[in-house]
Amino acid sequence: MVGQKSFGENIGVVVNSALLSVVYFAGVGVTSIVAKIGGKKFLEKDLDESGKSYWSDLSLGKKQIREYYRQF
């Protein structure tokens, strides 16, 4: 039984990895390439040596309670 279970788990890992690889290259990869062509940045990494500040506006304060039931 133990052998069967770990065999099942191993198969699960292989299937998961295969699926994730497909998602990675088809989903993440294509999005990334399209984004790079379109000049869209997903992480803001550039330095602005001559700029005065890196602070960006945030308005994190009280909202309606129902807003907090959302996970985003």
Segment 42-61, which members bind another protein (CB under 8 A)?
42-45, 47-49, 51-61
21 binds another protein (CB under 8 A): yes
Rg over alpha carbons for the chain, rounded to the nearest Å, is: 22
62 binds another protein (CB under 8 A): yes
List Cβ<8 Å contacts ≥24 apart for 2-7.
none
What is the distance between the alpha carbons of residues 34 and 38, in angstroms, rounded to a whole number? 6
Q: Tokens 């309606």, residue?
A: 64
72 binds another protein (CB under 8 A): yes
Binding site for another protein (CB under 8 A): 16-17, 20-21, 24-25, 28-29, 31-33, 35, 41-45, 47-49, 51-62, 65, 68-72
